[in-house]
Structure 1
Amino acid sequence: MSQKIIYFARDLLEQGEDFVIAKVVDTKGSTPRKKGAWLLMKKDGTTQGTVGGGRLEAETEKLCKEVFQTKEKSRLHHFKLNTEEQDALDMGCGGDADVLVQYIDAAHPEEFVEEFNLETTAYIFGAGHVGLALEPVLRYINFKTIAIDDRAEYANRERFPEAAEVKVLPDFKHSFDEIQTDENSYIVIVTRGHMGDYDVLKDALKQKSAYVGMIGSRKKNAMLFDMLRKEGYSEDDIARVHAPIGLSIKAETPEEIAISIAAEMIQVRAERS
């Protein structure tokens, strides 16, 4: 699946729109596209991607439209791409292609999201009031959530029953010792104090990530940024940090702050797409 289709599928899921995916899962002999070719169809019949064009494409699109009616979760279809056999598609390729057609329900996309890594990971450093309010919101908009704190009474399964992971650190000075981030990682820093935020931030700026956001007033953040400069961090490093975190919506309560952070993360993810 191409990155373009991945982002397109993720946008549809965020909008709550069902769709159908057709994928070439196996081929034999000469075929227009090999294993890994994809076609995504929206409910209005518009498509992204291709399984090979010609009669194969036309038959696959017909099957996709039928699946919108039946909502059948998945079915494998075998196509003979030759001109000799009675049940073949009258194509000159001569090979065979197996195409799996799947209905994706936007309300329950878990298997699809997991299989194709559509989820982005949110590392929430700080399991207090804001972290607790933020985690379910991010999970609802297809972030894999990891709640992290240095206090077991805050970072536990009772408070975060549906998070992908809950981690308790000995302290925030070694926040990333057991964490491997990547370009799809979103780092949220909402610990209970300035120095906890600073300890996480120092290490966060050494990691790969799509987003680094830190809670706090402009005055507090300016102080921490000055500390970073004294430690040799560049202006480009500091410019990576979204601080104060979240979109400016005059949020005050933990729940409102959570909404503002989630909105900013959606914006960053959409701009990257």
Structure 2
Amino acid sequence: MSDKIIYFARDLLEKGEDFVIAKVVDTHGSTPRKKGAWLLMKQDGTTAGTVGGGRLEAETEKLCKETFKTREKSKLHHFKLNTEERDALDMGCGGDADVLIEYIDASHPEEFVEEFHLETTAYIFGAGHVGLELEPVLRYINFKTVAIDDREEYANRERFPQAADVKVIQDFKHAFEDIETDEDSYIIIVTRGHMGDYDVLKDALKQKSAYVGMIGSRKKNSMLFDMLRKEGYSEDDIARVHAPIGLSIQAETPEEIAISIAAEMIQVRANND
């Protein structure tokens, strides 16, 4: 699936809009597109991607529109792409194509999200007031959430019952010992103190990630950045950090701060796509 379709699908899921996916799952002989070609259709008929153009595309789009009416979860369609057989599409390719058409219910997108890795991981360092409010918001917008703290009374399943994982670590100096991040990882630093934030930040800048955000005032963050410079971190390293974390919406309460952080993460995720 192309980045364009991934972004299209993610945007629709965040808006709560259902859509239909058509994917070429098998081909034989000469066909315009091979296995792995995709087409996504919105409810208004807007599409992204292609399964090959011509009559194959037209027939597929027609079936996608019918699927919005039937809401059929998954159905395989076999197309003959030659000019000889009576039920063929008369495309001149001479091959066959199997196209699977799926209805994606935005209220239950779990299988689709898992299959196409639309769910990026958010590592929340700090399970206090802000972390507690942020975790469910990020889950709602299709982030896989991991809550992390050095206090078991804060990082536990009673407080984070639906998080993908809850970790109690020895201290924030060892924040990433059992964590392997990647280019789709989002690191949120909201510990209970400056030095906890700094310990996580030092290691966070050594990890692969799409986003690093740290809570705190500009004065406090400036002080921590000066400490990073003294330890040899570059200006490019420091420029990776979103600090103060979140979009500037005059957020004050933990709930408001959570919304501002989530909004900034949506913005970064969209730009990365």
Correspondence for 1:21? 21
CA distance in 1, matches of 2:188, 2:207: 13
C-alpha separation between the residues in 1 aligned to 2:208 and 2:198? 18
The aligned residue for residue 3 of structure 1 is: 3
Shift of 1:86: 2.1
In the TM superposition, 1:92-241 aligns within 5 A as: 92-241=92-241
* Alignment partners' CA distance in 2, 1:157 and 1:115: 26
What SS is found at the alignment partner of 1:30?
Answer: coil
The one-letter amino acid paired with 1:189 is I
**Cα offsets for 1:182-203 (capped at 9, x unmatched):** 2211100001111111110000
Whole-Å separation in 1 of the counterparts to 2:167 and 2:26:
41
The SS at the match of 1:100 is: strand
Tell which deviates more after alignment, 247-256 or 199-208.
Answer: 247-256
Deviations 1:96-127 (A, max 9, x none): 11100011111221111110011111110011
Unaligned regions of 5+ residues in structure 2, if any? Answer: none
- Say if 2:9 is the partner of 1:37: no
Q: Which residue of 2 aligns with 1:82?
A: 82
Normalising to structure 2: TM-score of the pair? 0.97
Determine the structure 1 residue equivalent to 2:12: 12
CA RMSD of aligned residues (A): 1.1
Q: Give the whole-Å Cα distance in 2 for the aligned partners of 1:236 and 1:84.
A: 62
2:53 is the counterpart of 1:50: no
How far apart, CA to CA, are the structure 2 residues paired with 1:75 and 1:166? Answer: 38
Amino acid at match of 1:60: T
For the residue of structure 1 that corresponds to 2:113, the secondary structure is helix
Distance 1:7 1:119 in 2: 12
- Structure 1 outlier segments of 4+, above 6 Å: none
CA distance, structure 1, for counterparts of residue 46 and residue 224 of structure 2: 50
In the alignment, what sits opposite 1:70?
Answer: 70
Secondary structure of the residue that 1:147 maps to in structure 2? strand
Deviation by residue 1:33-74 (Cα, 9 ceiling, x = unmatched): 110000011111121111011111111000000001111111
- Mapped to 2, the partners of 1:51 and 1:271 lie a distance apart of 26
Shift of 1:271: 2.1
CA distance in 2, matches of 1:83, 1:235: 63
Q: Does residue 1:271 correspond to 2:271, yes or no?
A: yes
What is the CA–CA distance in structure 2 between the aligned matches of 1:208 and 1:84, rounded to whole Å?
54
Amino acid at match of 1:224: L
Distance in 1, Cα, partners of 2:46 & 2:246: 35
Give the match's secondary structure for 1:117: coil
For 2:262 and 2:167, locate their aligned partners in 1 and report how far apart those are by CA, in whole Å: 21
Q: For 2:26 and 2:270, how far apart are their aligned partners in 1?
A: 33
CA positional deviation for 1:205: 0.5
**Structure 1 unpaired stretches of 5+:** none
Secondary structure, counterpart of 2:48 in structure 1: strand
CA distance, structure 2, for counterparts of residue 47 and residue 217 of structure 1: 44
SS of equivalent to 1:39:
strand
Query: What TM-score, normalized to structure 1?
Result: 0.97
Q: Which residue of 2 aligns with 1:59?
A: 59
Q: Secondary structure at the match of 1:226?
A: helix
| Amino acid corresponding to residue 69 of structure 1 in structure 2 | K
